[in-house]
Amino acid sequence: MRGNSHVRFLREWALAACLPNQSRPEKLMAFRLMRYAVAAMQRHLEQGNDTLPVVIPLLFYHGTTSHYPYSTKWLDCFCEPELAATVYQQAFPLVDITTIPDEEILTHRRVALLQLVQKHIRTRDMLELAVELANLIERWQYSKEQCKSLLYYIAQVGNTIDGEGFIRTLAEKAPTYREDFMTIAEQLEAKGEARGEARGYQLGRQDGVKEATRQLARQLLSDGVARENIKRYTYLSDSELDKLLA
């Protein structure tokens, strides 16, 4: 039978060893060792540390089959070990939206709207972007729910000295959505989430952007956009995309 796993702490977390006892060969044991190691790192962070410890996964095998038959290199657990090595042995890819010129963002088709908002949401008066946002909305014909989620996000996180002017510009430049914009504006006002004038739109939290991102990703999936492109521009994982399709 399988034994219990243990984590031995050495040098006050400077070095740790993960020591599972195993009496039965397991093909993906290396992956399980990595899970133990990452769990130990997480516990280290939860204790208030701000760097990761070096955790050494060590398998203690005492089964009936002599010579453990499987690799203990975790990259060998992948269906494409060479690709996995390329991904996990170098810095992870970074899409830094703050460094991408607006002109380039506008070429990103349906994801351009969310990217443009995310780039400037905390640094510019959203009224300055109202015309461009309206043009994108009118061009790509987003759903009512997507527009609603986007405006909620802007109201929660963004800033403007003229909330009414922002909504009015959207309604004028995207006439297809005029009634929707005005209805949403009334809802925001009723909930106290739209506080135009000098105070601007301010409500903090990430709920708005998450919902807007999910709505956009769902539409992109239905439009047949490649999952890798959706993940790159929305930062959603495969599991999160799968949930949108459920």
Confidence of residue 194 (pLDDT cuts 50, 70, 90): very low
What amino acid is encoded at 180 in this protein?
D
Confidence of residue 203 (pLDDT cuts 50, 70, 90): very low
Pairing of strands 7-10, 15-18: antiparallel
How far apart CA 219 and CA 230 sit, in angstroms, is 10
Tell me the domain boundaries of the chain: 7-88, 97-245
pTM score: 0.63
How far apart CA 211 and CA 221 sit, in angstroms, is 15
Q: What is the mean pLDDT of residues 135-160?
A: 89
Tokens of 195: 């506080």
Q: Are 167 and 130 in contact (CB under 8 A)?
A: no
Other residues' Cβ atoms within 10 Å of the Cβ of residue 107: 8
pLDDT tens for each residue of 10-62:
445 456 666 778 899 999 999 999 999 999 899 889 989 899 999 889 899 99
The sign of the CA dihedral 193, 109, 145, 214 is negative
Residue 172 sits at φ, ψ, to 5 deg, of: -75, -40
Confidence of residue 243 (pLDDT cuts 50, 70, 90): confident
The strand order across the sheet containing 7-10 reads 7-10, 15-18, 54-57
